[in-house]
Amino acid sequence: MNFPKNFLFGAASSSYQIEGAWDEDGKGESIWDHFAHIPGKIKNGENGDIACDFYHRYRDDIQLMKEIGLQAFRFSINWPRVIPDGYGKVNIKGLDFYNRLVDELLAAGIKPCVNLYHWELPQTLQNLGGWMNRDCAKWFSEFSSVIADKLGDRVDDWMTLNEPMMSASLGYVLGYHAPGLKKPLQFFKVVHHLLLGHGLSVKAVRAEAPSCKIGIALDLRPVYPESESIKDLQAVKNADALMRRTFLDPIFNGTYPPLFNKQNILARARIKEGDLKIISTPIDYVGINTYSRDKVRYSRWAIGTGFTGPSEKTVDKEYVKDGIQYTAMNWEVYPQCIYEILMMLKKDYGNPDVYVTENGAAFTDTVENNRVHDIKRISYLKDHLTGVKQALDEGSNCKGYFVWSFIDNFEWSEGYCKRFGLIYVDYKTQKRIIKDSGLWYKNLITSNKC
């Protein structure tokens, strides 16, 4: 089962989850530095102060990426590492790190794919309201200009935001993620300002790198009802609107889903004339971060939808229930999830170019004789790539696939106990071990089939 000749196989990461050096070389504090230092927020009191020490070890890690044959590496820019106060003065040492990183990747024959925002908002901007403050969109576009001006001559592939839904829901409603707020009435304003920032960033990057390809990475999952009851079926429609069309509709069509107009939620978002035109600035591709599916049932709360799918209810390790495998994140293994999202994009949004910007699984990894035999992860990746190939056979414009993640890393509120990497990290020694899944991925890339 061959993939198209120029199909891109890569792996992904994000700055806070791998870099460490949280306060080094002039870097400013991010909301994640701030949040993870608050006792009780992160499992086992862990944080990203050191993480995988990628800031110092990036050259060796790039050699490991080369060893497993990665064709592309998706990484994010730590905003306060480059602009410590969020706007204004640039920290040359911080900018230079990303400059060296890009050059090192290119020298290794690996395409650098820059993600401008993977939740690393400068704390100084959070102190001014963060994404509840409309000015954040402007500050983000100014940050985007600085990065594109420096890297745009060598970086062709860009994305603006990672998972604005997660930023807004986990960060401003549920409080599991930085900045740890519980302000549900602010949700839509935060979503709108993030999307406005996306649109302004697309313009800013294109101004510095006119021939680049730029998109956005959205967390999109199929949504299923807990039961066939009328109320649960309506809950699916609401979840679909909330989780997917709240982002896809404004970006592709310049409108928000009708559901929110009805419930005058939009009124609270303070949408201004021209905003949706900016948000729907044409993009070159959409990134999908797809791991599983959601299951929902009717709820009298929120917009009438209660999520019972990939839950925030954490588990210690993977398990099987009713014959279904669940990962260590308590996510159902549902290999058709990518296929179904690719087909939805083909049917509902004009079959745009798509990259699977994240897909992978956390399973318990053990080291035996300096090897990690992660056969569950290999099965997971193989089965999900089979779904990608099926979608390609049915006309999807999927152009590439990025494993989450190239290396074990800081899994947000879960800390380091959840491992997604193709490469194992012993956090006590920072020793790396290429897992069997990394060797499997190398063979897949070499043979271009699975």
Distances in Å between the alpha carbon of 341 and those of 53, 222, 264, 353?
Answer: 35, 6, 28, 13
Enumerate residues 190-219 that contact ligand GCO by CB under 6 A: 219
- Residue of 109, 320, 308 whose CA lies nearest to 226: 308
- Residue of 291, 339, 307 whose CA lies nearest to 226: 307
CB 102 → ligand GCO: shortest distance, Å?
21
- Residue of 113, 103, 97 whose CA lies nearest to 10: 113
CB 30 → ligand GCO: shortest distance, Å?
14
Structure tokens belonging to residue 166: 């997660």
From 115, 124, 289, 292, residue interacting with ligand GCO (rule: CB under 6 A) = 289
Q: Note the Cα 195 to chain centre separation in Å.
A: 15
Residue 359: half-sphere exposure toward Cβ, Cα within 13 Å: 33
From 22, 298, 404, 406, residue interacting with ligand GCO (rule: CB under 6 A) = 404
Q: Which stretch binds ligand GCO (CB under 6 A): 34-42, 161-169, 245-253, 433-441?
A: 161-169
Select which of 120, 358, 411, 414 is catalytic: 358
From 64, 70, 166, 283, residue interacting with ligand GCO (rule: CB under 6 A) = 166
Interface with ligand GCO, residue 162, by CB under 6 A: yes
Q: Is 163 a catalytic residue?
A: yes
Interface with ligand GCO, residue 14, by CB under 6 A: yes
Residue closer to ligand GCO (CB basis): 68 or 220: 220
Interface with ligand GCO, residue 19, by CB under 6 A: no
> Is the backbone of residue 54 left (phi > 0), alpha (psi -120 to 50) or beta?
alpha
Residue closer to ligand GCO (CB basis): 103 or 312: 312
Interface with ligand GCO, residue 15, by CB under 6 A: no
Interface with ligand GCO, residue 157, by CB under 6 A: no
Does residue 218 contact residue 163 with C-beta atoms inside 8 Å?
yes
**Residues counted in the chain:** 450
Total site size for ligand GCO, rule CB under 6 A: 11
Residue closer to ligand GCO (CB basis): 265 or 425: 425
Distances in Å between the alpha carbon of 135 and those of 125, 141, 301, 335, 336?
Answer: 9, 10, 31, 40, 40
CB 416 → ligand GCO: shortest distance, Å?
12
d(CA 350, CA 335): 24
From 51, 165, 411, 437, residue interacting with ligand GCO (rule: CB under 6 A) = 411
Element (H, E) at 298: strand 294-298
Letter for the amino acid at 216? I
In sequence order, the 6+-apart residues with CB closer than 8 A to the CB of 450 are 1, 382, 385, 386, 389, 444
CB 352 → ligand GCO: shortest distance, Å?
20
CB 17 → ligand GCO: shortest distance, Å?
6
d(CA 319, CA 315): 9
Residue closer to ligand GCO (CB basis): 126 or 169: 169
Site string for ligand GCO, 237-276 (x = CB under 6 A): ----------------------------------------
Select which of 19, 46, 120, 163 is catalytic: 163
Enumerate residues 325-354 that contact ligand GCO by CB under 6 A: none
Residue closer to ligand GCO (CB basis): 122 or 415: 415
Residue closer to ligand GCO (CB basis): 232 or 408: 408
Q: Is 358 a catalytic residue?
A: yes
Interface with ligand GCO, residue 358, by CB under 6 A: yes
Structure tokens belonging to residue 56: 């110092």
Enumerate residues 412-441 that contact ligand GCO by CB under 6 A: 420
CB 178 → ligand GCO: shortest distance, Å?
12
Interface with ligand GCO, residue 163, by CB under 6 A: yes
Residue closer to ligand GCO (CB basis): 18 or 147: 18
Question: Per-residue b/e over 105-138, b at no fewer than 16 CB within 10 Å?
Answer: beeeebbbbbbbbbbbbbbbbbeebbbbbbebbb
- Cβ count within 10 A of residue 214: 26
- Which residues in this chain contact ligand GCO in the complex, by CB under 6 A? 14, 17, 162-163, 166, 219, 289, 358, 404, 411, 420
Catalytic residues: 163, 358
